[in-house]
Chains A and B, each alone.
Chain A
Amino acid sequence: MKKIDADILIIGGGTAGCLAAVEAKEKNPDLKVVILEKGHIDRSGCLAAGMNAINAYINPGETAESFVKYVRNDARGLIREDLVRSMGQELNSVVKRVEDWGLPILKDTEGNYQARGRWNIKINGESLKPILADAARKAGAEIYNRVAVTNLLTQDGRVTGAVGFGLRDGEFYAVSAKATIVATGGASGIYKPNNDGSAHHKIWYSPFNTGAGYAMGIRAGAEMTSFEMRFVALRTKDAIAPTGTLALGFGAKQVNALGEEFMVEKYADVGGNGAPTCYRTYGPTLENKEGRGPCYMDTTHLTSDDSYNLKKSYLNMYPHIVLYWAGNGKDPSVEPVEIAGTEPYITGGHCQAGYWITEDRGTTLPGLYAAGDVAGGAPYKFVSGCWAEGVIAARAAVEYVMTGSNPDVSDAVLAAEEKRVRAPQQRWDESGDGVSPREMEEKLQSVMDEYAGGIKTFYEISEARLKIAGKEIEKLKGQTQFLIARDLHELNLAHEVIDRIDVAHVLIKHLLHRQETRWPGFTTNQDFPERDDEEWLKFINTRLNPETGDVEIVERAYSQVVS
């Protein structure tokens, strides 16, 4: 067993985690800041391939308050305005900071950042992740790569660190920490993806973001919010690449198979082409369902030079779409790009699923802070919002450390967790019979797709179907004891599916409780197809009751901060 004492433990060395590490070391260089990272910090998580834009930036003429108003409308009236405002206030300074570390931001002839839409600027971000990793390293953070965190440590309700295992050395890790920041990212792989078989990981969100941060918080009794605001992304069909590059970067509009600009014609009342994100998925989903598909982003106005620049832009972020076009003999300046909705993801970065937090990003568990995609209530974060939250959480964690002492960790607790963690490998060694992680993942995805509003049902849910999903997920929870793992790689896969099942379990409670349709396109409730502000302009939260093991619902009020 490898025991580590830290002042601040950061779980996940990604977008939020790297900025949290730098901020903590800058605020107090004497603190020991430890990062546990499941991959390798240089290329882990969502930013592995890079990025071509910063999508949350306060361009000239805008303010943190105008940002709040925009995000509120995009999220259909329900956000934590305190969180979105505090994030908005940090956006430009964190972007400047990363630019100073070496990120190329595109500028016009006068030296101003090139805007790409109201809240966006263009970057050459192929090396964004190594740039962030270098900054965390230079700041003096102690980084442990290839350590998968499996649970938080708690003492009298306070979080005192975390445990996990090494994917390379096989060691069991126990980190005792005076403050902990969870920054693991959200959850993909809960629902059956667009592609299957040899292309099952051709998904938009990182397939290696498996909901670990949510699951460890759920199991420790943290309050979670808004899992029911699932993110269904509008993406290019097959290659599942982002469409913002086409719409904002190259002026492409959505059209159906008849060539109709249906967003303008049918959704003018909610903003047409500028409608809230959920409507931009709902529009083409309905066109497909009603027989007017396929739908496209119309790129045929592009010149061949534009087409070259479009490819160049994607190479900074989703290079495989360029290969996809080449292999299929497609040229976006000649034919439009077909689009599709993805399977639902659970994320606090685009939507607002995650830990219920205070403005300083403290969770309901003392000693634990949340930042980035695992933090709830503040959608529209994207990359720069995750940086901002990392910085805000680190400031609070540094303060919290000042008042605390390093907690002891009981050997009995560690031994029990190590046994739980190694169980799938032990089962393989002893009996060789059981369920592979991949089999269980496919079962989970199939249940969720069919009964909890996946692609198959056009993201529509009903109480009758959700109750079936709930029963099946209970059965799956009971089956995790039969998981087998032949090596450390499979042991990680086993824990990823355990985490996903715990996330799905809570997600179903959220979906059942919200008796309205607030975000059509992300979720349409067939029993309650209308938005109902009188009854449902409020947050749905959940918390595991440690005494009963039940997930309990807690409703929290919405509060308007910006008028």
Chain B
Amino acid sequence: MTVKIDLKRCNGCKNLDAPRCEKLCPGDLMTLNPETGKAYIRSEADCWDCMVCVKACPMLAIETKLPYTLAYFGASLKPKTGKDKITWTLKNSDGTVETFEIETRF
């Protein structure tokens, strides 16, 4: 289980005390690489796939990737978090796309 970080998009949340992924990861797995100033995951195998960091990233730079033993390459699931709703875009391996819009709080 792991997340993949798009280093072109990640800006290390420079304007914040700590990057949002580092702040929130329940497994203490996300942190900054001091050399690049960008986020990385300390241990890919220890990720629970809760997608907290994916939802919290202001740059939409993080994507959950299932290990190949569990799922074939080609699909993706991307959330976009709003104030009181979340919108998910699911790309199936056959190329079809589904979107889901769900209320999260009122």
Contact = CB atoms under 8 A, between A and B. Distances in A.
B86 to A, nearest CB: 6
Interface in B74-103: 74-77, 79, 86, 88, 90-94, 98, 100, 102-103
Contacts of B71: 323-324, 326-328
A40 B75 contact: no
B50 interface: yes
A419 to B, nearest CB: 23
A104 B50 contact: no
A198 interface: yes
Contact of B103 (A104, A208, A319, A326): A104
B70 A324 contact: yes
A285 to B, nearest CB: 22
A102 to B, nearest CB: 4
A44 B88 CA distance: 22
Given A311-B98, A327-B93, A202 B49 contact: yes
Interface string A132-149: 000000000000001000
B69 interface: yes
A322 B66 CA distance: 11
A319 B28 contact: no
Given A201-B45, A319-B88, A328 B105 contact: no
Nearest to B24: A43
Interface residues of B, number: 46
A124 B26 CA distance: 21
A401 to B, nearest CB: 30
A238 B70 contact: yes
Residue among A126, A146, A308, A329 with most chain B CB within 10 A: A126
B93 A329 contact: yes
Interface in A26-61: 39-40, 42-45, 48-49
B11 interface: no
A326 B93 contact: yes
A48 B93 CA distance: 27
A40 B24 contact: yes
B15 interface: no
How many chain A residues sit at the interface, stated as a range, is 35 or more
Nearest to B45: A198
Nearest to A105: B106
A323 B69 contact: no
Nearest to B23: A40
Contacts of B23: 40
A49 B104 CA distance: 12
Contact of B50 (A42, A48, A328): A48
A199 B1 contact: yes
Contacts of B91: 326
Interface in A418-447: none
Residue among A45, A49, A146, A327 with most chain B CB within 10 A: A327
Contacts of A127: 104-105
A146 B29 CA distance: 12
B26 A322 contact: no
Interface of B: 1-2, 23-28, 42, 44-52, 56, 64, 66-67, 69-77, 79, 86, 88, 90-94, 98, 100, 102-106
25 contacts: A40-B25, A43-B25, A43-B52, A49-B51, A49-B52, A127-B104, A127-B105, A198-B2, A200-B46, A201-B1, A201-B27, A201-B47, A207-B46, A208-B26, A308-B100, A315-B100, A320-B1, A320-B51, A323-B64, A326-B75, A326-B91, A326-B92, A328-B93, A329-B72, A489-B42
